[in-house]
Amino acid sequence: MTTTDRAEQVTSSLAGPDQRGGRYEEVRALTEELAAPLSPEDQTVQSMPDVSPTKWHRAHVSWFFETFLLERYLESYKAYDTCFGYLFNSYYEAVGDRYPRPSRGLVSRPGVEDVRRYRGHVDDRMLELLAEDLDEEAAFLFELGLNHEQQHQELLLMDIKHVLSMSPLDPAYLEAPSGQPEASSGEAADWIAHPGGIVAVGTDSAGFFFDNESPRHVVQLAPFELSDRAVTCGEWLEFIDDGGYSRPELWLSDGWAAVKEQGWVAPLYWREEGGDWTLFTLFGRRPVSPAEPVCHVSYYEADAFARWSGARLPTEFEWEAVAGEPAGGSRFLQATSPHPRPQQQPAFYGDVWRWTASAYLPYPGFRPAAGAVGEYNGKFMVNQHVLRGGSCVTPAGHIRRSYRNFFPPAARWPFAGLQLARDL
């Protein structure tokens, strides 16, 4: 499918001009709501090369709309600040040079207030543009921009959690919700059998999807079964107690090297205190809850746990064959409660992303789009693993059955857990 064909297909399912402005304002407002609890100092810090400052996320998504829509389609539009393209371009080489990613936290100016004004300027001009009729390509880029900002809403929370975790004071991003935490049902995971065979995966939906979700194609699956929920913290504590982090026979070679080099003894943000485990959350530090899905584990840890448990990680196609579309009870982003909660079985979506055994590779017949937007996904299809299902910091309505997230196998700061599979 060509870029033009794709734009025409997606445009046919998008809201018209009278709905676009409202959808745009809704997405943009959520970004500001998520940033609101943070001070200017909070929004400037970069705690590791993979993390970006909050103010950078807020500016970058504005730069995306400015660069790919306003400068192309709004007559006489001029860039708000010609320096911003260098500072806030992420990885679009076709657009121009970029400031080095690992050094984003060294840029104190423009400040948070400058970024607020920039966002307001882009918003005003975008609403002008959205009041007009958009051609197919512009409408597609608009939808891409909304989904792009939703991805950065999740990244904003991932990144600020890592930033705040660096403080010895364990500061809270939000005050914890009132009321009692959800109790565990105590139920063991059930297993859902699948007969295997030839199944269709990927999408050719008339609605929006990222290019890496297509083309739709068929794969051959052997019979298998999939656990009906994510692995819990209580189950992970058993793995720790059984010496899971000190048994090299459970680990891939690269994973064992990461354990030794980085001193992993538990998931990221966990800490042992007086014989009990606590974890840092966006509500501050608190005791580990055995009923919650385990979160912030790498692919290497997920694979080692699966091996220890006598199971394995599912392929992304096995997960897709069983999961169905997201149900109404799935736990996605709620701005007041960005933390995994005990799952109601069956649960294939929300709370934590699920690592799969699948390397992030192009589907048969995949071709990146022409131009800079073709850099969105395709050039990252190496040295990454696929995650499925969304998490408690994934915006509701953003996820779908064919959605493919991806991270390097050692990454631990995503809200990632695992769901198990077994051969039949």
* Whether residue 129 is found in the same domain as residue 225: no
Among 178, 211, 225, residue whose Cα is nearest residue 9: 211
* Domain boundary residue, one of 165, 199, 219: 165
Helix (H, G, I), strand (E, B) or coil at 285: strand
170 occurs within a structural domain: no
pLDDT of residue 177: 81
Does residue 186 lie within any of the structural domains? no
Residue 182 lies in a domain: no
Same domain, 78 and 226: no
For residue 32, the tally of other CB atoms under 10 A from its CB is: 11
Nearest to 319, CA basis, from 235, 383, 405:
405
Residue 174 lies in a domain: no
Whether 256 and 118 map to the same domain: the answer is no
* pLDDT, tens digit (0-9, with 9 covering 90-100), for 180-224: 555 555 678 999 999 999 999 999 888 899 999 999 999 999 999
Task: Say if residue 17 is in the same domain as residue 53.
Answer: yes
Residue 41 belongs to some domain of the structure? yes
Same domain, residue pair 14 and 92:
yes
Distance from C-alpha of 207 to C-alpha of 326, rounded to nearest angstrom: 15
Residue 231, CA atoms < 13 Å, CB-side half-sphere: 29
pLDDT digits (tens, 9 = 90+) for 283-330: 999 999 999 999 999 999 999 999 999 999 999 999 999 999 987 767
**Last residue of some domain: 148, 165, 182?**
165
Asked if residue 287 lies in contact with residue 317, where contact means CB atoms within 8 angstroms, the answer is no
266 CB-contact burial (10 Å; exposed 0-12 / middle 13-18 / buried 19+): buried
**Domain range for 272:** 191-423
| Residue 12 confidence class, pLDDT cut points 50, 70, 90 | very low
232 φ/ψ angles, rounded to the nearest 5 degrees: -95, 165
How far apart CA 205 and CA 13 sit, in angstroms, is 10
Residue-level pLDDT at 9: 44
Mind listing the pLDDT tens digit for each residue in 114-171? Answer: 999 999 999 999 999 999 999 999 999 999 999 999 999 999 999 999 999 999 999 9
In this structure, the answer to whether residues 14 and 99 fall within a common structural domain is yes
pTM of the model: 0.94
Based on the domain organization, do 209 and 133 belong to the same domain? no
Question: For position 347, which CATH number holds?
Answer: 3.90.1580.10
**91: domain CATH number?**
1.20.120
Cα gap 420→283, rounded to integer Å: 29
Specify if 172 maps to a domain: no
Beta bridge partners of 281: 284
Q: Do 149 and 202 have their domain in common?
A: no
pLDDT at 14 over 70: no
The number of domains in the chain is 2
Measured CA to CA, the distance from residue 304 to residue 92 in angstroms comes to 36
Do the beta carbons of residue 173 and residue 393 sit within 8 Å?
no
- Asked if residue 197 and residue 146 are part of one domain, the reply reads no
Which two three-digit tokens encode residue 378?
A: 């395709």
Tokens 């998520």 -> residue: 34
Could you tell me if 360 and 222 lie in one domain? Answer: yes
Q: Are residues 307 and 372 in the same domain?
A: yes
At residue 6, does pLDDT exceed 60? no
Q: Are residues 9 and 133 in the same domain?
A: yes
Q: How many CB atoms are located within 10 Å of the residue 29 CB?
A: 11
Do the domain assignments include residue 405? yes
Across the chain, mean pLDDT equals: 92
**Domain edge (last residue) among 165, 200, 232:** 165
CA dist 71 and 129 (Å) reads: 11
What is the structure's pLDDT at 154? 97
Rounded distance, CA 338 to CA 37, Å? Answer: 13
**Residues sharing a CB contact under 8 Å with residue 248, sequence separation 6 or more, in sequence order:** 256
